[in-house]
Chain A
Amino acid sequence: MQDENMVPATTFCVHHNIELSFIHSLKEHGMIETVVVAEELLLPLSQLERLEKIVRLHFELDINLEGIETITHLLDRMEEMQNNIQRLTNRLKAYED
């Protein structure tokens, strides 16, 4: 079954020139979610952005999976904090005016 919200892992691997075993490793580390339908490994589209970032960090910068896990967690926290700062700045500005 092909779902428009899913992309076959093999297609992703061909496109990015990586081994399917890499996707399996990420899954084992709990870093991505995958779905198996009719024995085909599928990746939810919502995961692609995160997955592409992981691929770049791993293959461009030689960062191992443990390192990437730490980095992505910290980047998520950083983004959350930046958004909070922005919200608070807006709020503060409204009171200062």
Chain B
Amino acid sequence: MEFIDYYKILGIDKSASEEDIKKAYRKLARKFHPDLNPKDKEAHKKFQQINEANEVLSDPSKRKKYDQYGKDWQHAEHFEQQRRSQPRQESYTSGDFSDESDFSSFFESMFGGGSRQRTAKFRGQDFNAELNLQLRDIKKTHQHTLTVNGKNIRITIPAGIENGQVIRLKGYGAPGVNGGPAGDLYITFVIADDPQFKRIGNDLYTNTTIDLYTAVLGGEALIDTLNGKVKMKVSPETQPGSRARLKGKGVPVYKQEGQFGDLYVTYGVKLPTNLTEKQKALFVELSQVK
């Protein structure tokens, strides 16, 4: 547990007046408020520190105690022990501040959990989580159960969701402070690269190899898609590196049911090897035909 310089956090000096503290707090709270810094963990952390500093310095009795014992907080613990051994003059409602997580252990050691009398309500901290998916997981809208901070949360993953896309689950973040609303849970979807398909927007790109005879004369090729193999017509005289399109065989368009991107297939041509004498002769003959 380290000493926390609340004056430094608020950017004021020890002689600051109540008005100075209020002004400094307002200024910083506006800068780091979670609503103004969505998905910014650092800003949320900073906001908690500012709140804590304000909690202490805006309350004359807490400020006095902090000024007296702050730099040597172990003495404050001792002070607290002595105070606790005396009959209490105030009664505190237990459970009001059951979640202490948004205060530092330094604060707890100085002021305990039950002695806080807050006036401001603040929204709880937002949580961030990542959900790793495969490309094939996004071909259909489906349900998924996540465990976040020991809580099971069932979410719907819409088909076609993008890598890096974030969804917000309202109220699944940390509980609010002093009766404020709970924060939100932001889930970032991380979609792993697929060894077979490259995704660009809603379209997919893949490669397939056909033999020389199909490339020259035309025919059919079996193509892998997200939903299994499909037969595709290969035009005669298909060149290596040329590309064909399979309409509607790409990724489902996000939140637009029934709409899909396309699958683009780039052809590679495999030349025959281990030719027989007859085959060689035929190639020679072919090469001489003008």
Contacts and interface: CB of A to CB of B under 8 A. Distances in A.
Interface of A: 49, 52-53, 56-57, 60-63, 71, 75, 79, 83, 86-87, 89-91, 94-95, 97
B165 A86 contact: yes
B153 interface: no
For the residues of A in contact with B, the DSSP-based class is helix
Interface string B135-179: 000000000000000000000000000111100001000000000
Contact of B122 (A60, A79, A91): A60
Given A91-B200, A94-B199, 5 more contacts: A56-B33, A60-B121, A63-B30, A75-B36, A75-B38
B163 A90 contact: yes
B26 A61 contact: yes
Contacts, number: 49
Contact of B33 (A61, A87, A89, A90): A61
B198 A91 contact: no
A83 B38 CA distance: 13
Nearest to A86: B164
A56 B35 contact: yes
A94 B29 contact: no
Contacts of A61: 26, 29-30, 33
Contact of B120 (A60, A79, A83, A91): A60
